[in-house]
Amino acid sequence: MRPAAFRNFLLLASSLLFAGLSAVPQSFSPSLRSATGAACRLSRAESERRCRAPGQPPGGALCHGRGRCDCGVCICHVNEPGVYFGPLCECHEWVCETYDGSTCAGHGKCDCGKCKCEEGWFGDACQYPTHCDLTKKKSNQLCKNSQDVICSNAGTCHCGRCKCDNPDGNSLVYGKFCECDDRECIDDETEEICGGTCVCGECSCHDVDPTGDWGDVHGDTCECDERDCRAVYDRYSDDFCSGHGQCNCGRCDCKVGWYGKKCEHPRSCPLSAEESIRKCQGSSDLPCSGRGKCECGKCTCYPPGDRRVYGKTCECDDRRCEDLDGTVCGGHGTCSCGRCVCERGWFGELCQHPRKCNMTEEQSKSLCESADGILCSGKGSCHCGKCICSAEEWYISGELCDCDDRDCDKHDGLICTGNGICNCGNCECWDGWNGNACEIWLGTEYP
């Protein structure tokens, strides 16, 4: 059996035994748990610190988002082609550099994201031979692009293979003949790569417009987004600038008598204060659902420019589809007005549960037991190693259903004021909000 194949076999066998690949940091001591099933001797904060990459702030992804943290030790997931491994699940066998379509150019093996070259080869993708038996003329001939230019004048030829010029180490110049130069996508003013995707030196704005109407996003660096001109209550309507202005590169130039980012506000309002608030409330108890400012019966949602908060009364908040790491619907669904629509084969509020499970019932239950041996703290059911908390007790949450969201602070009768997530008794506020109950807007004025 080949060494690489043998290693993969051992990793897979280990994952089946422990329901994931366990990688133990050097600082780990078996004495952190006195016995199997015993409580962890580390605090939750210390356990998570050991599972987080160095320099990553508290709240960052544990185990690189590729595993779960168990008493300071990362248990890596094995749920897709390839294998995650390493003390912090930082390694993946399928992410090494390629050359001419081959990983490590076929002259090396992938080890934790880096090519380890065979003897006689070097380079990020093991694409360069150490000794060359080609003449300089033959070598240069193999390095010429379709215009007969050696390495597109953007690199040097080494034994018939181009070595692209990237003095800053940013890999912006690439391709078999160094024909791709993504520096062409960098905006001269902001020095940032175009808002879309840079494809071999040209900005493709397709990826930044989920509607498929690619004409809405344009410009040399995808800087113009005509969707920003659509009506304040619906980014996908045809009501540009609320019908009261002209859209120029994503900015509304309003007609006389109207103002606002999308010309949604009249200069003088015929509504009384009570009528204005009533129009802004809709079915919510708060004007603009507590997520915006009401002016003359129309809502401007907060934070300004955050496309995840929208609706006529700011009733749609797609941030509710995100977990604490910012993953939308667990990566297995789409968000519609703050609710996840799961792909086939997944379920749960955040599409976090697979319908099929490759674990035995014993393996699954072992992952759902709390330190006292109770399954999901007695407040939920166990499915494929994860707790599904009781829907009847809406306030119960946490990995083991051990948290009570009623412990989180409230404002205007709403937990975390609807501007954050209750995380085991504490409010985790979204950007732009602060306070124990996320009730304080950090913008120029309070909504």
Q: How many domains does the chain have?
A: 2
Find the CATH number of the domain harbouring 421.
2.10.25.10
Full-model pTM? 0.35
Residue with tokens 């360069």: 128
Q: Is the pLDDT of residue 446 over 50?
A: no
Q: Is the pLDDT of residue 276 over 50?
A: yes
Q: Is the pLDDT of residue 447 over 80?
A: no
Q: If you write DSSP's letter for every residue of 117-146 in order, what string do you get?
A: EPTTEESTTS-EESS--S-HHHHHHHTB-T
pLDDT single digits (tens) 232-268: 545 445 567 877 788 887 788 887 677 788 887 777 7
- 327 within a domain of the structure (yes/no): no
Task: Please state the rounded mean pLDDT for residues 271-290.
Answer: 84
Task: Please state the rounded mean pLDDT for residues 324-330.
Answer: 84
Rg of the chain over all Cα atoms, to the nearest angstrom: 27
Q: Which of 310, 326, 342 is the last residue of a domain?
A: 310
Q: Which of 310, 338, 372 is the last residue of a domain?
A: 310
Q: Is the pLDDT of residue 445 over 70?
A: no
Q: Is the pLDDT of residue 349 over 80?
A: yes
- 306 within a domain of the structure (yes/no): yes
pLDDT at position 216 = 63
- 242 within a domain of the structure (yes/no): yes
Q: Is the pLDDT of residue 25 over 70?
A: no
pLDDT-derived band at 117 (thresholds 50, 70, 90) equals very high
- 221 within a domain of the structure (yes/no): no
Q: Which of 310, 345, 368 is the last residue of a domain?
A: 310
Q: Is the pLDDT of residue 310 over 80?
A: yes
Task: Please state the rounded mean pLDDT for residues 6-22.
Answer: 40
Task: Please state the rounded mean pLDDT for residues 159-182.
Answer: 82
- 357 within a domain of the structure (yes/no): no
Q: Where are the beta strands (DSSP E) in 73-174?
A: 73-76, 84-85, 91-92, 98-99, 102-103, 108-111, 114-117, 121-122, 128-129, 155-158, 161-164, 173-174
pLDDT at position 270 = 81
- 187 within a domain of the structure (yes/no): no
pLDDT-derived band at 8 (thresholds 50, 70, 90) equals very low
Range of the domain at 299: 233-310
The one-letter amino acid at 401:
C
- 259 within a domain of the structure (yes/no): yes
- 280 within a domain of the structure (yes/no): yes
Within its chain, how far is the Cα of 126 from the centroid?
31
